Structure 1
Amino acid sequence: MNESKEFLKEYDDSKYKKPSATVDMIILTAVDVETKARSVPDKVLRVLLIKRKGDPLVVDITDPYKGKWALPGGFVNYYEDLDAAAIRELREETNISDVYMEQLYTWGKVYRDLRRRVISTSYMALVDSSKLNIKAGDDAEDACWFDVKITLLEEVKTQIKAGYIRKTTYELSLVNSENEIKDTVIVTKKLEGRTSKIDLEYVNNPSGLAFDHATIIFYALERLKNKVEYTDIAFSLMPEMFTLTELKKLYEVITGKVIYSRNFRDKMEKQKKMVIETDEWESGKPYKPARLFRFNPDWVEDQ
């Protein structure tokens, strides 16, 4: 103990530059969108964004992201846990509290924030937006939901001596009734021998999202797409009672794939046993009512 005290007494931490720490929250929800009359509505994924205060047309070298849309988030206080900072920032900027957030990834590229060296930890939450009262606060000028979609633009594969380099370009589209934002994300996979490396980068777009938030949203959506195949994460976006068609449409919008109804029913009811059939039926719908199901709380991943 005495040795530790002596060491700390003589220790000079000024010789190391100190990066700042931030948290960024990806809050996702799923809502119905009407398509054709007398048919089950499709689903769309939405992400919550905040608009940073300031005029984006006024150049400010101290904050080049003024007036831009971004994920809710902010700096971690010196004596504050990461989880506590995420909860506080989300509440201060959007008025959301009491939601479960899962730590997603840590982002540490050197110039991800042009103001200073910033390392950010991202969190993801799946919520029922109808139960939330979104209200901008703190340093946010506005807070609202955006429909979010990923579109494949181009894929280029180059052979190298012991493998290949594949660059895949995606468009991240964020749209609501008043705004449309488009960003480009490039995923580079390098396979050399038995070693593979994947890197995400965004193409700087003056009218796009602030910071590197396009890559954070892209990563979250890809993570969700993978997890929905082997976990019960999708049920966080469903009501307590639902039809299999409604659940299938959610899986389709998350995975970006068309799913055949019979295969999906077998997967949910027989193979995975993720749902339980109830004795209740839909009512008040303009189409043929369907039986209602609920999530099986006894389901486990290795079934």
Structure 2
Amino acid sequence: MASNEKVNSHGQTEKEFLAAYNPYKYERPSVTVDMLIFTVTDAKKRNYRTLPDKELKLLLIKRGEHPFIGQWALPGGFVKMDESLEQAAVRELKEETNIDSIYMEQLYTWGEADRDPRARIISTSYMALADSSTLEVVANDDAADAKWFSVQCKLFQEHRTLTGTGYEQQRLYKLKLACEGEKDLEAVIKKVKTVSGRTVRTYGSIEECSGIAFDHAGIIEYALERLRSKIEYTDIAFNLMPELFTLTQLQQVYEVILDTELLKANFRRKTAHMVIETNQYTKDAGHRPSKLYRFNTDWNKENE
């Protein structure tokens, strides 16, 4: 042993400690990954002269096995011992839905002790925006089906109570997922924020749920909240756009994600540095030609 090599209280070097270490000394919860793949599509046109409305959609799989057999869930599965969380997310998404090669970012880790009836399972969720027209979704592995569901999440009740050192705020959200030919999926999620001096705590709970497996209703609500925040200061929305697009199409995507109408002049001023004007125009029947733009990949360098 080298004279400067450190030993622990039992006189072991690190090499000796690792050789004798028992990995079963502590309980080992299982780890899973869940993926939230959002897209924006055109709703049905009312007539050929009317621009189509947009719908925000989320990819769900129908569970073919217990628990929650027959209910709808986020694509996902267990992490193998020899892979990273991201590698597991990519593999599971491909195995269950046939989707490959899309960028996903880590969203949050969910660790409630009773979140899965099978065992103590901790899950890390990943989120992505994708152009669904470029994806060929096919249910595989233990997924009985895979479909895009339109997503709506509305705040319908809010209550604030003052306390001696701050306040407690409770909000109730109604989540609704709809797909043609399928029964609507619904849930009520409660979000609580407590402020006591400089200490702020937040937590959520699923108050009601119909047709959505596990705690995935809460994960979906959280992802929508994060998505609406990120679209304000990042270029994440451009993952939904084709190579060439009109400014009206881009504004529609922002509006459907934010669930609010935006002023045309303000929106165009805000996003002007994120797009590059081309010399091409749309050729849609029944509409005046509109100029086409492309995403400016260097838009953020101005702030560096």
Deviations 1:250-299 (A, max 9, x none): 11111111101111112222xxx111121111102322221111111210
The structure with the largest alpha-carbon Rg is 2
Instruction: For 1:299 and 1:162, locate their aligned partners in 2 and report how far apart those are by CA, in whole Å.
Output: 44
Deviation at 1:139, TM superposition (A): 0.7
2:293 aligned residue: 293
Instruction: For 1:120 and 1:9, locate their aligned partners in 2 and report how far apart those are by CA, in whole Å.
Output: 30
CA contact (8 A) 1:77 1:85 kept: yes
Q: AA paired with 1:44?
A: E
Deviation at 1:301, TM superposition (A): 7.0
2:277 aligned residue: 277
CA contact (8 A) 1:40 1:245 kept: no
Matched residues, percent identical? 50
CA contact (8 A) 2:189 2:208 kept: no
2:51 aligned residue: 40
1:29 aligned residue: 39
Instruction: For 1:119 and 1:301, locate their aligned partners in 2 and report how far apart those are by CA, in whole Å.
Output: 38
1:87 aligned residue: 90
User: Please, which of 12, 17, 26 is the counterpart of residue 7 of structure 1?
Assistant: 17
3-state SS of paired residue (2:300):
coil
Instruction: For 1:160 and 1:64, locate their aligned partners in 2 and report how far apart those are by CA, in whole Å.
Output: 42
Deviation at 1:47, TM superposition (A): 0.5
| CA distance 1:9–1:266, change in 2 (3 Å) | closer
| CA distance 1:301–1:248, change in 2 (3 Å) | farther
1:143 counterpart = 2:153: no
1:235 counterpart = 2:245: no
TM-score (norm 1): 0.91
1:190 aligned residue: 194
Deviation at 1:302, TM superposition (A): 6.2
Instruction: For 2:158 and 2:45, locate their aligned partners in 1 and report how far apart those are by CA, in whole Å.
Output: 31
Instruction: For 1:253 and 1:40, locate their aligned partners in 2 and report how far apart those are by CA, in whole Å.
Output: 14
1:211 counterpart = 2:214: yes
3-state SS of paired residue (1:171):
strand
Let me know the Cα RMSD of the aligned residues: 1.6
2:166 aligned residue: 163
Deviation at 1:70, TM superposition (A): 0.2
3-state SS of paired residue (1:259):
coil
Deviations 1:80-101 (A, max 9, x none): 2111111111111111111111
Instruction: For 1:133 and 1:265, locate their aligned partners in 2 and report how far apart those are by CA, in whole Å.
Output: 33
Deviation at 1:40, TM superposition (A): 2.0
TM-score (norm 2): 0.91
Instruction: For 1:266 and 1:12, locate their aligned partners in 2 and report how far apart those are by CA, in whole Å.
Output: 61
3-state SS of paired residue (2:176):
strand
Instruction: For 1:302 and 1:208, locate their aligned partners in 2 and report how far apart those are by CA, in whole Å.
Output: 47
| CA distance 1:109–1:77, change in 2 (3 Å) | same
User: Please, which of 5, 10, 16 is the counterpart of residue 26 of structure 2?
Assistant: 16
